[in-house]
Each structure stands twice: as C-alpha cells, then as structure tokens.
Structure 1
Amino acid sequence: MFRQLIQQVQHLVDLHGFPPPPPPIPTVPPSPTVLALPLQLHDDRWCFLNVENYHFENDCDSFIMKAKKPGKTQKKQELTENLGSNESLKEEIWKYFPEELYETVIARLPIATFFRFRSVCKNWNSLLNSNSFTLQCGQLISPQPWFYTITHEKVNAGAMYDPVSTKWHYLLIPKMPKEKIILPVASAGGLLCFHDDGHRSFYVCNPLTNSFKELPARSARIGLRVYVGMILNKKSNNGGYQIMLVASDGEYEVYDSTMNRWTRIGSLPDCISLPLSLNFRLKIVAANRLMYLLRSDPHGIVSFDMESRVWRQYLVPPPPHSRDHALVECGGRIMMVGLVTKNAASCVSVWELQKMTLLWKEVDRMPNEMSLEFYGKHVKLFCLGNSGLIMLSLESGMINRLVTYDISKEEWLTVPDCVLRHSLTQLRIARGTAFHPSLTATA
C-alpha cells in the first residue's frame, strides 16, 4: 500500500517538478521556555504537510507551502479542507487495497461479525461462494465451539449460543422436516448430525450456511437406544466424515460420506460385556481417531478405533457419591463431569482418568456460589458439549441454569438465559451438542 503511495508521489514529481528543497536550518537547542510553545512556532518559513493524511493534488503547492500564522477564519477553512482531503485520501488508499488481503482479514473475524459485514457490499456478500475465501477459512479452526440446542417449548427450532459474544442466535433449518422431532446428536468439522426420535432417518447440516443432506437408509435396523458418534475422515483423500451407531445389544454401523452409504460392521467382540447400559442423552467422545463411550453395569469406558476397527473395554469405578456422569475430552485427555451429592448439597465436579491406575482423579469443582441455588433440591445434570469448552444444564423443577466450563482455563461462567426476542419467557434447554462453527463445511 505504501509502495503504491510512493509511486503516485513520484509520478506527480516527474510530471510537474518540485522546487529545490530549502537549505538546512541550523538547529539551536531550545530553552525550557521554547519547549512549552506551540509546535507551529518551531519554524515559521516552511511547513511540510503530513503526506499520509493529505489528499494528492496536481498542484505542487499542495505538498510544500509557505506557512503563515492563520487567523480564526483561515484556521476553520483549513480544517474543513483537511477533513475533505483525508476522506479523499482514504478512498484512494482503499481503492488499491489487494482483494486477497480483504479475504485474509475477513476470514479471521468472529463468525457473527462476518455475517453482519455481508451487508457491506455485493462482493463481501458473495464471499461464501469464493474458492479463495473458502481456502482461507479452511485453514482456520474456531478457537471455541458454539452450542446448538433445542428447547422444550420449540422442539423443531434451534438456538445457538456463541460463547465469544455471550449471545444466543435463533434459527430454523429450512430443509429439516417439520412433522418430526429432530434431535442434534453429534458434530464434527462444523457439521451437525441429527436424527428423528425413531432413529429411522439421519441428517447432516451446517447450521450457518444451511448446507443440508439426508443420509441414505441404513443397511440394518438398530434398536431405539443408540450411541451416535461423528468424526472427520482425515485418512481419505476426499475428506468427508464418518458416523457411527452403537446399540445396547452390541450391533453397530458406520456411515462414510465419501461412499455415501452405511456399512454394517457386525457385533461387539466377546471382550465387551453386553448388554451396554447406555444413557441416550450421553454422547460419544472423539479423540485421536478413537471413539469413547461411557457405560454402566459394569461401570467403565468402551473405546473403538475407527481405523483398525478394534474395540476395548476398561472397567473404571465411578467416584463415590457421584451421579449423572458424562464423558468429555480436552487435548486428548479423557475426563468426566458429574454431580456429587452429600447431605443436602450438590456440586458439579470434574475428574480426569489416570491412565496408569485407571481411576478417576478430581481436578476441579464448580464454585460454591453457583451451587447455593440448588441447596436442598433434587438436581439433574445434562452435558451439552464435550470438547474443551463444555456446557452444563442444571435442572430442578422449573429452574434451568446453564453453565460453561473451560477445561484448559479452569473457568466457570454462567450462561445468559435463552429468551426469544419480544418475550420474557425463559426457554428450557432439552438437548444439544457443541460444534465448531465453519463457513466452508459441506454436508
């Protein structure tokens, strides 16, 4: 940008010429009294204007002029001219600003800011269809996930929470069937996986761009209570994603988006105790190409390697006085959240799995001031996100409180109430999952 500016100045010099520069003025160290004088009194013969803040004219007097002590009227006139010149200069600078730098900067804006900026001009509005902009966004990963939820009051409408701006966004996915209850069950790479309440149909969608796909019919019927996991298919050259279903009887299937079909792999090996005692609200945790499931009776963790198709089971007893457990992960660390109840007090705790001893070690606990509201009440805990930043729903009667916990920062924050516009009624979160917002993920 500055190179172009210098070239324009040089072109004007060659075209009109400049008078020779004035001889250097001998400098005399100023006295303390002189230091206190206004800047324009340092030299009353020549005044070099700030080229960076001045509009280029064809007259060389616009660059070098004799300075006189201006009166009030002259000062006001010069101020008005300078303001107009600054606006013209800004237009000249931004006129030659490289388009690729626009895309580089915009791709790094917060997602919510980007959607506001789409109204600036037609070019910015069409960025989503630009291959170069898509490439820029594909190289970036959102630092914090968003949370997509549905509520008891509006089951077929989504509410997305942005933890950066601490705001809720409400939306409808146009192609989603309205006659069924559609539940968000998993996510990967900016995409969300949904299924209907009968597990007969599955859908994948990018809620930000409305990229939508209904998956083909499954090869076999799996029971109503299933675990659903989703992971990016990084091993394939075509990219894409994989979705895994596991039923309590041990039957499981895998969907591969590159082949657009379900494959019935078979049943769990004999080393896995059946039936699996599954909680349909819990989610599969994906970490380092492994899928982790939390089970009970016997208590432990079941893992599945998506590449080698190998199953393993680890019997891990739960922490004492704890319930409503949910698996979470952070940077490959396998962790768990749950409620600890003693006497009349209930508190949310966080544990990390010790790989050497296969025991849970408590690493953090929700501050007491957040737990006082539920003292002496029966509380239910639901986990709505399980990677890095997690969202917890605490329910007791008509009370529904949402809290986020940043695992790496060990930071607890209260989430603003989910309230529709022009309404004072708080919506109660029913189901949800975390996802990393993406402008380029395609279903």
Structure 2
Amino acid sequence: MRQQIKDMAKDALVVHGRTKKRKASGEAHASPTFSLDELSQDLLERVLSWLPASSFLRLRSVCKRWSSVSTSPTFQIACSQISFRDPWFLMVDHELNQSVIFDTSEGNWKGLIRPTGFSQAKQIAIASCDGLVCFRDTSGGGLEVCNPVTGARRELPLPEFTQPLHAISMSSFHKHSSFSSYRIVLVYGEFPNLSFRLFNSEKNQWEDEVILTHKAGDSSDTDISGGQTVYFLSKSGEVVATNMLRSPSKEFSSVSSIENGEEIVYFLSHSGTVMACNLSKRNFYEHPRLLPIYSEYSIDVVVCKGELMVVVLSEFLETASVRVWRFCKRSKSWRQVAAMPPSISHELYGKKADLNCDGCGDMIFVCLNSADFSSCVVCNVVENVWMELPKCVVNGEDKEFVSAFSFEPRVEACV
C-alpha cells in the first residue's frame, strides 16, 4: 500500500511542479525520489483522497499522521471533489441481515467495516443515493439515514399520515457547498388519490403534503392498476394473483430520476404496472403493461444511465429469460435493450425465482432467489454483458441474498 501511495504521490507532485529535475541524459529515466514526510498536509490529503475506498479504510493503521488525515475536514473536502467512486452494494439476505457488501472496484465480497446497527432485523434498507443508505424501522419507529463507511446516523421520525404507503424514494441534490444534500419522498394514498411528502436535509424538516393529480398516461389498464387483485390459473394449474408480494426490503422500493429538469419517482403498483410520479408537475401516470396481466413474471424498476428501465423474469416455451427494457416516450412503448444469455437464464426455468434489482451507472445488479435457487448477476447495459458473481461464503456457508442497494463509499457524505 505504501508503494501505491508513493506512485500516486509522484503523480501529484508532477502536477504541482515539485518533482526534481532530471540530471544527466544517462539518468533520464531515473525516477525522482522523495520522502512522504516531505509532502505538505494539503498535498498529502489531496493524494490520499484519490485512494480506493477499501484502501482508505486502512489509513489509520499506517501511521499517526495518516490517521489524523482521515478525520480532517479539509480531507473530506478533497474527497468531495472526486466526481465518482466505484460503488459498493449493501446485500440483504433472508433474515434481513445487512452486514455484507460487494466491492465493484475489487470484485469481491467484504464484511461491512462498521456493522453497528446493520444486523438488527428491525432495520431494513429501503433506499440509497450517493454515499448514504436509508433504513426503515419495521417496528414503526420511522426512518434512519446512515453513512455505511463512517457509521454516522440520523433518525427521521415519519410524518403523520393514515393512508397506505406505496413508495419511499431517496435522491441527492447539490447547492453551493462541497457536500451533497439529500431528500426523501414518501408516496401514499388510495388510488387514484395519491399524495407525497418530502424531507429536505438542508431544512431538516418534512415539507407540507402535496396532492398529486391523475394524468392520463400511456396505460390501458387503469381500471386495475390501482391495486385491484385479479386471480387466474397458471399453466401448471396453480392459482396466481396479480397482487405482487415483494420482499420486505423491496416493499416500498422506488427509484427517481431527473428528466428535462423535472424529478420523477417510479415505483411498481400492486398489479405490476410502472407508476410515475412527477414531483415537479405534481401529477402521476401509468406506463403500459409490459406483459399481459394473465401471465406470471417477476419485475423490478431501476434507473440506469440516468433513465428508467425495468428488468423482467418470465418463462416461455419451457425456458426462462431475463430481459431489460427501456420506455420510449416517442412511440409510447417498451423496447428491449439487453437480454441475459440463455446459458444463464435457462437455469431459472421452473424455479419461481423472485427478481430484485438496483442500478448504478451503466450497471444493473440483479438478485435472483427462490426456495432452491440463489444467484447474483451484474449486467453492463451498454455492452449487454452479464456476469455471475462468485458465491459469498460466511463461516463456511454460502450466503443467499434477496436484494441489494448501491452506494458510493464516501467518507464525506453527511447524514
């Protein structure tokens, strides 16, 4: 690690014009030598801010000076100037334990460095953005925002409302400071009467309730999308209900994106249609159904490449397929953008697996889980490349995950 820091320090010194001049022509390729102790505090902090998160977490064990850097306010400012960090995925298993992460920069599994509070079953991860994760207290205590890297936490009591809750969304926004602020949106009500309330971290308060109007959307199934359950027989003779039953960690899952300067929250209705709540225009509408209502499938919504996509697991002609779709507003229809190779998806046939996803950048992280099957797959949407992740082994046993939430490991992310 010290050698890595030295290499990075040399690059930083070149930028700041502090490298020694080359001597003779015969020594033109000699590397400049210097001691890390020669670096000013400001330059050292700038160099260390470029370290991968997994390396940063080991800073304190190198020396006292580096340990002091890790808690320096100016170091946090330097870290905030790094535009993007490879994401980590906080994994949720059947017991709703959340103490394992997948590090995309190193491509391996890790135990959460600061597990305090994450192993408590009553706290379920429900949303994430930038370097923060939002948890819901299943005992009714409200929400909690946490930085998984530093362990900083903030409790947010839920505002009072008596109507059914449909979605909890978390998004970030930037003002004039070096650190991002965030807001949490609750969508609730009885269809077609929906409302939302918003928590603004800068104001440290819940704003007043906003009533959403029902805009004529692109769906022809508006009579059943609000939650009415339809029952039908599957090909195997089993009774199937359109009222989707989701994992507790995904019960109120939703995603948000900025489109033409307008913030839109997307979530799934109980019948499996994609609902869109335009917070800027204060209305909501439905997208057309991807598959006929009398069919079996598992579906989830993600934001990838800055736009809405849905991932669908379905069975047809004695095989299973996992496909990614993007909604085309011009044609008001869904278009396929990626498909899992049959060599991977065929194994899902007949497993009745539940599909839960999360998007980050060009990637979609897919958790597939059933009574006798479990797998985690990453899809690069741009290149249509799918990769199965290695099994995560804890205490000699394979862990099975039902969902995941992405976040950038950032020490400067404030709760």
TM-score interval (norm. to shorter): 0.7 to 0.9
**Structure 1, gaps ≥5 residues long:** 10-46, 54-85
Aligned match for 1:145, one of 63, 74, 87: 87
Aligned match for 1:232, one of 172, 189, 205: 172
Q: Which amino acid is 2:94 matched to?
A: H
Q: 1:292 to 1:368 in 2, by over 3 A?
A: same
CA shift, 1:161, in A, is 0.8
CA contact (8 A) 1:191 1:204 kept: yes
- List per-residue Cα deviations over 1:229-273 (Å, max 9, x = no partner): 011133586852110111252243211112222234144324486
- Structure with higher strand content: 2
Does residue 1:287 correspond to 2:257, yes or no? yes
Query: Does 355-364 or 242-251 show the bigger shift?
Result: 242-251
Matches within 5 A, 1:13-28: none
What count of residue pairs does the alignment treat as equivalent? 365
Matches within 5 A, 1:174-189: 176=117, 181-189=122-130
Corresponding residue of 2:230: none
* Greater gyration radius: 1
Q: Which amino acid is 1:119 matched to?
A: S
CA shift, 1:287, in A, is 1.3
Matches within 5 A, 1:407-422: 407-420=381-394
CA shift, 1:219, in A, is 2.8
Q: 1:430 to 1:325 in 2, by over 3 A?
A: closer
Q: Which amino acid is 1:226 matched to?
A: H
What percentage of residue pairs aligned between the two structures are identical?
A: 25
CA distance in 2, matches of 1:396, 1:382: 12
Corresponding residue of 1:316: 288
Q: 1:384 to 1:213 in 2, by over 3 A?
A: same
Q: Which amino acid is 2:302 matched to?
A: V
- Structure with higher helix content: 1
Matches within 5 A, 1:121-136: 121-136=63-78
CA shift, 1:286, in A, is 1.7
CA contact (8 A) 1:222 1:251 kept: no
CA shift, 1:150, in A, is 2.3
TM-score by length of 1: 0.72
Corresponding residue of 2:160: 220
Query: Does 259-268 or 159-168 show the bigger shift?
Result: 259-268
Corresponding residue of 2:234: none
Q: 1:5 to 1:418 in 2, by over 3 A?
A: closer
- List per-residue Cα deviations over 1:333-390 (Å, max 9, x = no partner): 2211111210321111011111111111112110112123223433221224465322
CA distance in 2, matches of 1:417, 1:179: 23
CA distance in 2, matches of 1:362, 1:5: 52
- List per-residue Cα deviations over 1:300-320 (Å, max 9, x = no partner): 431222xx3522314312145
CA distance in 1, matches of 2:135, 2:58: 28
Partner-residue secondary structure (3-state), 1:126: helix
CA shift, 1:298, in A, is 8.2
Partner-residue secondary structure (3-state), 1:373: helix
Partner-residue secondary structure (3-state), 2:168: strand
Partner-residue secondary structure (3-state), 1:118: helix
CA contact (8 A) 2:377 2:387 kept: yes
CA shift, 1:292, in A, is 2.1
C-alpha RMSD over aligned residues: 3.3
CA contact (8 A) 1:157 1:172 kept: no
CA distance in 2, matches of 1:236, 1:310: 26
Does residue 1:439 correspond to 2:383, yes or no? no
- List per-residue Cα deviations over 1:171-217 (Å, max 9, x = no partner): 375663876511111112211100012443110000001111111x3
Q: Which amino acid is 1:165 matched to?
A: E
Q: 1:5 to 1:104 in 2, by over 3 A?
A: closer
Corresponding residue of 1:67: none
Corresponding residue of 2:111: 170
Does residue 1:247 correspond to 2:188, yes or no? yes
CA contact (8 A) 2:197 2:207 kept: yes
CA distance in 2, matches of 1:93, 1:255: 48
Q: 1:50 to 1:170 in 2, by over 3 A?
A: same
Q: Which amino acid is 1:259 matched to?
A: K
CA contact (8 A) 2:134 2:145 kept: yes
- List per-residue Cα deviations over 1:85-133 (Å, max 9, x = no partner): x9xx95x544433443332232222111222343211121222322322
Partner-residue secondary structure (3-state), 2:170: strand
CA distance in 2, matches of 1:363, 1:382: 18
Corresponding residue of 1:58: none
CA distance in 2, matches of 1:6, 1:164: 33
Q: 1:392 to 1:139 in 2, by over 3 A?
A: same
Corresponding residue of 2:38: 96
CA shift, 1:426, in A, is 1.2
Corresponding residue of 2:353: 379
